[in-house]
Structure 1
Amino acid sequence: MTETAENNQQPEYLKWADFYTEFSTKLLPYRNKRKELIDELKRLSEEIPLLTYLNKDQLSDGSKGFVRDICPFTFIATFNRGGTNKNRLEIAGRLAEFLGVTSALPDNLEVGVPTLDSRRSWFFSNEKSRKPDDINSLWSIFSNAIEFADGGSEESRLEFVDAYEKALQVRNTGWNLTMGLFWTRPQHFVNLDTPNQEYIFSRLTPEGKKSKWEKQLKTGKGYLELRDLLLERFKDSDFPAHSFPELSYKAWIAKTENPEPQPSYDRPYWFVGAVIDNQDFTDKFVNEGIWRHGFNEGSNIDKVYSIQAGDRIAIKSTYTRKNNIPFDNYGQTVSVMAIKAIGTVIENIGDGQNIKVDWTPVQPVREWYFYTFMPTIWEVYPHNWHAKQLIEFTFQYKEQDIKRFKNDSYWRDRFGDHLKDKISPVEPYTLEMAMDGLFMGEDTFTNIVSLLEAKKNVILQGAPGVGKTFIARRLAYYLMGVEDDSRAAMIQFHQSYSYEDFIQGYRPDEGGNFVLQNGVFYNFCERARQRPDQKHVFIIDEINRGNLSKIFGELMMLIESDKRGDKFAIPLTYGKNGEKFSIPENVYLLGTMNTADRSLAMVDYALRRRFAFITLEPYFTSKKFAIFLAGKGVSGAITESIKLAMQSLNEEIRKESRTLGEGFCIGHSFFCPEQPPADEKLWLERIFNHEIKPLIDEYWFDNPDKADKMKQLLNPKKGSVQDGRAQ
C-alpha cells in the first residue's frame, strides 16, 4: 500500500500529523540559515496578503519593517494563525515546497490543528525590546524537542527540560510554546491552549480544574510529567482519546459543540488610555510591559488601586469621526474607539499609578464603534450585550455586529437601516417652515427662540389645546437649524418618574441583575458632548407632573445657563469613585406645562428661577386660524361659530379668577383636524360633546348648574352651530 493510500485511510484528525512532523524536521537545518527563511517569507508576502503582518516589526531604530530574524515556531505559525483553510493551505504548500517536504499536504487544517490568535502570531517580542538570545532560545527548545521525541534518551530529556524553562522566559511564549511543540511533533507533545486545558483537566481531576498542575506546568519537568501521564491514559480504553492529535481533535469538537462560556461577572475588563500631556505612550508601555496612570490624584486613583493581577486590560483611544466610516453613517458623526494593545495584568505596584502588564500590540489597530467611553479608565463588566460584544471584540478578536448596534434603540434614529430610503441632503429648517401651521406671529416665535438661546431653559405654559408640544418641536428644529430628531429628544414626566430614570441608578439588566445604568438625560448629554458644534434640545412634556427636585437631584445647579460645561462638573449620586458629570453647553431644555391641571403643585421656586416662562394663549381670533380651517375644507360659517362660541366660553373662564382664570382658557388645537372633515357639522358636534363639554364639567365640578349654563354657549338658540350659521 502506498504512503498516500495509508494517509487516506487515517482519521481526519491524523492526516496532518505526518506533514507537520516532516515540515519541522526539514526546517531544523535552517537554524543557522535564518536569512533564507526571511527572504522566502518576504517573497511570499508580496503574493499572499495574509503574510503582510510580518512587515510590522518595530526595528531597533524605532522604525517599522519586515522581521529580520525568526524562530521556528513563528515560521510554522504563518499557516496556523487564522484565515481560511484555503489560504492556510496555500502558505503551507509554498513553504513545504521551499523546504523540500515530500509528505502529502493535508486537505483540511481546521480539524484539530490548534491555531494562534491572529494578534499574537509571534513567539517573541519586537526587535527593539527583545533580548539578544530570545530567538536562539526558541531554536534550542525546537531542536531539543525533536531530539527528545525521536530518541527519548534520559540525557535528551534533561536537555529538553532546561531548554523548555529558558524558552518560557522569552516574552510572548506562555502556553503558545506548548502549541509550537505540538506542531513540531504531534505524536509526542501535548498542546495546552485553553480548549485543550479545559478538555484535559475535566477528565483528569474530579473538579475539572488544573489547580493541581498550575505550578508544575510552568517547569519543563512538570510539563513532561503531564505528557507522561496522558501517554499512560491513552492506553486506557475508557479514556476518550488515545493520542495527542486525537486529544486535540476531541478538544476542538468540545469547543465547537460548547461555544465560549460567558465572560465572568466577578472581575471587570479594563480599557485605559495612554495619552499623558498630549503625548501617546502606547509603544513605551507595550515595550516596557507597564501601564501608567498619568495623574497622581483624582477619582481614577481608586480604580487604579482596584486593578488586580490576572485582569484583562486594553489600551484604547476614543474620538469621533464623520468620514471614512466602514458603514453607512448617513453623514452623522460616529463615536470611535481604537484598540491599540491588549494584555493581562501581571502585578499592581500599589502606588495608584503603575501596573505591570503582559502586552500584545494590536496590529493593525482595530476600531470599535458606537459604544465608547472618553475618560482615561473604563471599567467594563459584561452585564449587557453591548459590553459583552466589546469584550469579545477586544479580547477574543470577534467582529462587531455593526448592524445590531446601528439598529439598537439608542442609535437607531441616526444610523438605523430604515434611514436608507429616507436620507437626502440636509435641508435647512427655515423660519417659513417653522411658522407653517402656527397661528402666533413671527415676532413672538423668534422672541421665544432668542430667549431659549440666552437662558438655555424655557417652559411653555398654557391651558389645554394651545399647542405647547407642537410649538416646542418647531422651536427645537428652528434653533438647531435642521429637523433632526437625533438631536431633539422628548420625554414626558409623571408622578412616578425618578432620578434613576432621568439621570442614573440601579436597574435590572437582561439577566435580572441590578446594575448601574445611565438614564435618558445622561445619555442625551453624552451624545451631545460628542457633537459640541451642534445644538441639542431636550423637550420635557408635562414637566410639572414630576417631582422636579427629586428628578433633577444635584443637576438642579447644572441646568443654569452659566453652570454648563466640564468646569462645573460635579459627582453624581450613584457615580463610581467620584466620577463627575456636567451638562454640555450645547444642550437646551424646553419644557411644557399645563396650567389647568388642578392635581399638580406649582413648580418650586428653585426650578422656576432657572427657567424662563412663556405663556401661550388660544388663537381663535387669528387670521391664520381661519385660513388653516379653510385649507381643511371647513366653511367660513362653521369657523365663525367656533370663534364666537369659544371666545364666549373663555371669557367666562377668565371671570372665574378665584377658581379658574386665564390659565384655564381652552385652546384652539381641539379644532385643528389633520384631514378635512367628511361632515363638518358632525365633526364639530363630536368635539363639543366629547372634548369641550367634559372639560366644562371638570372646571365647574362643584356647580352643575353653572356647567350646564356654560355648555349652552356652545349651542345658542339662534343661529345654532348645528345649523351652521353664526350667532
Structure 2
Amino acid sequence: MKRRIFILSHINTERLEAIMAAEGKACWFVGAAYGGREDQSSRFIEERIWENGYEDRYLELVKAIQPGDRIAIKAAYTRKTGLPFDNRDQTVSVMSIKAVGTVTENLRDGRHLKVDWIPVEPPREWYFYTGRTTVWRVLPGDWRADALIAFTFEGKPQDIDRFRNAPYWKERFGDRDSEDPRFLWTRFYEAVTDELPVSVDYEWVMQAIKRITAALPEGNLLRNAQFPRFASPFNILTLFNLPQGHAARTAAAVSVARYFHIDRSVPDSFDEIPTAEFEEDEAPPIREPRKFAERLWELFGAAIRFADTDESEGEARTAFIAAYDEVCHFFGKNDYTLTIDLYWARPWSYLPLNRKNRTYIRQVLGIQLPDALTGESYLELIETLENRFQDDSFPVHSFPELTQAAFLSDATAQQTVSKGVKTENIAAPIVPYSLDDIIADGCFLKREKLEEMLERLQQRKNLILQGPPGTGKTWLAKRLASALIGQKSDRRVRAVQFHPNLSYEDFVRGWRPCGEGKLTLTDGPFLQIVQEACRDSQNKYVLVIEEINRGNPAQVFGEMLTLLEADKRTPTEALELCYQKDPRNPERTYIPPNLYVIGTMNLADRSLAMVDLALRRRFAFETLEPLLEEPWRNWVREKCRFDAALLDRIEQRITQLNETIRKDATLGKQFRIGHSYVTPAAYPPIDDPERWFRQVVETEIGPLLEEYWFDTPAQADECRRQLLEGF
C-alpha cells in the first residue's frame, strides 16, 4: 500500500493540487470499456479525453459534469481469491482505479469530456463499495463516499475492517463475533450451484437426479417422483426446496451434498428460505419442452455470469435480460417463480419475489413493484434495493435479510405445494430475546434491576419508565417488551406516541373520512391491539406509548382507563364503548390479561402538566438515572474503541454538569443530562472521538442548556465552556 501511495505522490505537484482543489464537489467514476469494446483507458489518458460510448445512455448525467470536477477511470469486477482479507470463499466486489484527473472542458453533447489525466500505475484496488454503472456520481458527505474519494484522489488507504463490518457486508465478511449464523445457509446453496454445469447436458442432470433421489430414505416422496426428460440445473436445486417438512428437505439436501461432495454444512433450518411456488390452477403443458429446457439452461448460465461480475451493464446484463424474457415467453406470462430459482442459485445477488416478499416490499419498505416483470424491470428493482441496503437506517441490508424479515412478519407461512405433496403450515422461526440480550445491546442497568422491572410489569400489567432526558427510556421500553414476550416480534409489540392533539377518536375508536364525503367508524391502534390480544390469548402483547404525558391520558383512554387496572382484565368487567358500530346490539369490551402497556415520560419537559392521579394509580413507575459508570465505560470502549482516558474526561464533565443542574433551584435532578447523549452507536465507527464529543455538545447538549437557562444565558455559556475545555 505504501508503494502505491508513493506513486501518487511523485506526480506533477500543480496537477495534483488542481485535483485536490475540487474537494467538496461531486466526483465522477467512469468506465473505459463498455458494450463489449476493448478497454479505452490508454487512449483516453494519452488524448486527455473521456468518451461516453453509449449514444442513448448517461447523456444528461455527462452534461452535468462541470469543469474542475474530479474524475477517475475505474473498472469494476469481482474476485474470490488473492484478497487482502479473509473473504471466506465469498465473491467480493472490486473496483480498480486506473487514472485520476480534473475535467477541463465539457463539450455539452453528453458524450465527450476533456480531462487532465494522471495515470495510476499500478492500478489501486478498492473493495466492497463499488460503482457498477459506466458513469457513477459520488457526492461527499457519506462516510463510504468520503473514504472512496480520499482513497482515489488523496492516496489514503481503505479501512477495510470498517467496510467489512458495515451492515451491508458484515453478514458475509464481518468479524466472526458479528456474523449472523442464520445466513450461513447461503454458503451451502452457492456451493451446490457451483457444482452445476452452465452448458446444456441433459444426461448429466438426469443421472444426478436419479442417484440423489435413490439415496433418499424410504417414504420420501421424491424417491418415486417423475421428473421431466429435459431437466435443467434448477431442477437439482428444487430437490431440497419443495414445500415439504424440515426432515424431508434436510434429507434431500444431505443427499445432494453427498453426491457432489459438498464440504459446506447442510442448513440447520430452512424456515426462511422460500420454497418452490406453484400456481393453484393447473398450468398448461409446455408445448416444446426441449426448447423450454434449453432456455432455462441459458438463463441459469446468464444468471451465474451476471452475478459473478460487478458490471451492471454490458454483455452479461444484456444476456441475462434476454434469457429471462425468453423463459417468460414460454410461460406466456411473467412468472415470479423464476426469481425464487435465481435466489437459490445466488442468494446475495437475486431477489426472490415470493408472495411474502412482495407484500413486505410494498407495505413495509414502501417500494412499488413493476407492473410488468421483465428481465429489465427485475434488475432495476434489484438495483433499487441494493442502493437502499447500503443506508444504515434501512430495515434490511441484503436479500437474505429481507426474505427473513418478510417471513417473520407473519405468525405462520402458508406454502403452496405441488401436486402430490401435502400442504402444511410452517411456524415462523422465533428469534429469542431475553434480559441478557438487553444487556448485550448496551443497557447499563444491573440485571437485578431489569428483573425487578420485568416483575413489576408482569404484576401490574402497566409500567411507566420516567427520567431525565437521554436516559434511554424508549430504547429500554421496546426491549423490555421483547424480553417480556421472549422474542423479537413486530406483530406483538406495537409503539405509538402521544401528543397534545391526540384524542379518544384517534386512539380508541372514532369517525374517520373514508372517501366520497362519507365517514366510517374506525378502530384506533389501542382497540386494534386489544382485539388481537383477545384472539391470541396464548401469547403476550405489548403496547409501548412514548411520551405518555404529552397527551391528556384521561381524554385519550376514555373508559379504557378504568379497564387498564390489573384486577379488571376479565370479561365480567367489560364496558360499552362510547362509539358503537351497531347501537341496537351494543358491544362490550375489556382489556385481556395478556396485553401489557409500557409508557415513557420525560421529567424535564416543562410544557406538560402533572400526570393525572387516575393514571398514576394504574401504572407502576420506574425512574431511570444517568448512568456514566463502569458498564457505560466498558461498552463505549469495546464497541466504539474510545480511549479510556477520554471516557474518564467525558464522565467527569457530564457528572460535574449534572451536579450543577441538580443544585440549581430552578431546575433539579430531573433535568440532568442522560448517558444516551454521550453513548455513540456501535456503528458506524467514529474516527475522531474528541471531535464527536464537541459536536454533541455544540448541537445537542448546548441547545438543551440554553433552554434550561433561557433567562440566564451566561450560565448556559459557562456550562458549555466547561464541557469543552481541553477538547
Same fold (TM over 0.5): no
Q: TM-score, normalised by structure 1?
A: 0.41
Q: TM-score, normalised by structure 2?
A: 0.41
**If you compute each CA radius of gyration, which structure gives the higher value, 1 or 2?**
1
